[in-house]
Chain A
Amino acid sequence: MTRWGMAIDVRRCVGCQTCTIACKQEHGLPPDTAWRFVADCEVGEYPDVRRLFLPMQCMHCAEPPCVPVCPTGASRQRDDGIVWVEYDACVGCGYCAMACPYQARHLVHEANGYFEIPTPSEAAQARPERHGVMTKCTFCKERVDDGLGRGLQPGVDADATPMCALACIAGAIVFGDLDDATCRVSRLAADPRAQVLMPECGTEPRVYYLAD
């Protein structure tokens, strides 16, 4: 059984936001909407302070609190663990965003661009079905599914790998099948230093962070 997941080595992350931009470009996200971002964090108290970059996105939880609260069934989880939104079914109530402990859901209000008139690129990437509904990181499921259809291995072959992992200049983001013991992501997830965000929420995130 495939179980897609991600491991992010925060020790490698330099906070360049390349993954943020790659995601926005790949999915044609409008201004003020970013399915992922890198938080620039100050950790500790003076004088024991250090800087740490924390890439944030949907955790594709095994027990996603956003899915059962959805009143229309638009918020769904696939058998391979990817949590996604069926745009045509979403009413845009925002309940899933209230249920998500990771601030990973975003309501796209209207078709706004960076300028008064949409640029050719914005016009080409316009997705009217996403207006007025909740949106989120999909683990680039279209790339993953298309790649699998072509016999590629997500996480290994570029064309089948989520854009953030592909674009990361530091190799900090690793994607793959957590149930495949030979996969790099499963080895990283098994590392004693690997942890998930806020395990007390009981959501069993499938994005692991490696930190000192």
Chain B
Amino acid sequence: MATAMRLSRMEMLPAQRQVLWGWPAVINFALGGLGAGWYVVAVLAAGFERSPGVTVASWAAPVLVLAGFAAVAAEAGRPLRGPRVLMRLRTSWMSRELLVGMAFVLLVAADLVFPLRLHRAQAIVAAALLALAQGFIVRRARGVTAWDVSIMPLLFLLSALVSGAGAYLLAEVAAGRPPIPALVGAVLALVVVAFVAWARYLVWTSEDSYTRAVAPLREGRSVLGIDGAGYGLPLLFGLLALAAPAVAGPALGLVGLLLIAGQVYAKARLILAAGRLRPITLAIVPSRRRSS
């Protein structure tokens, strides 16, 4: 017992940056979330009706999701075996991501051909599941300290909705249909919630290895790009749009751009900079310098 109490967990191998998942994975997570979120926001904003905004999202969102899948397939060592990815639906979130992604595309296509509220309702469920599945993929990566946290699926869902809201605002402004103030208010509330979740994620545990793993997300460049440009500025310009309707159009367009860019950048930093493999530790008795 005395020996056990003297044991100390020593870091034998330091954390190393993962190198297998690069930009293609980032593109998949970014475009998948963007497409899924855009469709959800567009359908909810239209109250499940078939608005012009929903039509635009119905064409763009599946393309974004499929482009994400194509990007990540290019990263795989044997991309031609892609259909095999559906083999382990019972245990693998990567299998589930592909399934719900394909279901989303098919449901949106069905709605384009046979417009039905039921199709739209099913499609937004599939879209939400797609965003969650991507979060669970990252969450189940037990070898990466900064990813293996239970808030990850929620983080991905909120990220998808935020970037999707950005795409929706941008598309509506570009089409000369500035959203109503209530909708802008709802988007800003969503941005606040997403920011709170992100801030909570950065301090999820006080473990030293975790703190070091998320350190790249707390340094200057990330703070500027994610917290500042991705959350702060959109809130500022969103409030400006509400306060000054004369500049609402350009301001909301800028909000949309910043929301998309901020979330893409956040995912890039999460995968590429914070993707560090766990340090290897061993419990050993600390040595003591011999007295001479």
Contacts and interface: CB of A to CB of B under 8 A. Distances in A.
Contacts of A70: 88, 92
Contacts of B92: 68-71, 95
Interface in B82-101: 82, 84-88, 91-95, 98
Interface of B: 3, 10, 12-13, 16, 18, 20-21, 72, 75-79, 81-82, 84-88, 91-95, 98, 137, 140-144, 147, 277-278, 280-289
Contact of A54 (B12, B84, B87, B95): B12
B76 A197 contact: no
B288 A91 contact: no
Contact of B280 (A67, A93, A198): A198
B204 to A, nearest CB: 16
Given A48-B289, A56-B280, A98-B143, A92 B85 contact: no
7 contacts: A69-B141, A71-B92, A97-B20, A100-B143, A103-B280, A109-B77, A212-B284
Contacts of B86: 71
Contacts of B18: 97-98
A99 interface: yes
Contact of B282 (A73, A103, A197, A203): A197
Contact of B94 (A49, A69, A197, A198): A69
A98 B144 contact: yes
A152 B285 CA distance: 39
Contacts of A211: 282-284
A117 to B, nearest CB: 24
Interface of A: 10, 39, 41, 43-44, 47-50, 52, 54, 56, 65, 67-74, 89-95, 97-103, 107-109, 131-134, 192, 195, 197-198, 201, 203, 209, 211-212
B140 to A, nearest CB: 5
Contact of B278 (A71, A101, A209): A101
Given A92-B77, A99-B140, A68 B282 contact: no
Given A41-B12, A201-B278, 12 more contacts: A48-B288, A68-B92, A69-B92, A71-B86, A71-B88, A73-B88, A89-B84, A91-B81, A99-B140, A107-B20, A197-B280, A211-B283
Contacts of B140: 65, 68-69, 99
A3 to B, nearest CB: 22
Contacts of B144: 98
Contacts of A107: 20, 77
A101 B142 contact: yes
A49 to B, nearest CB: 7
B285 A43 contact: no
A108 B78 CA distance: 11
Contact of A48 (B75, B95, B142, B287): B287
A91 B76 CA distance: 6
A54 B280 CA distance: 10
A39 B278 CA distance: 15
A204 to B, nearest CB: 13
A94 B81 CA distance: 14
A140 B93 CA distance: 30
B78 A132 contact: yes
A47 B289 contact: yes
A172 to B, nearest CB: 15
Contact of A99 (B16, B76, B142, B281): B142
Contacts of B13: 39, 41, 54, 56, 103
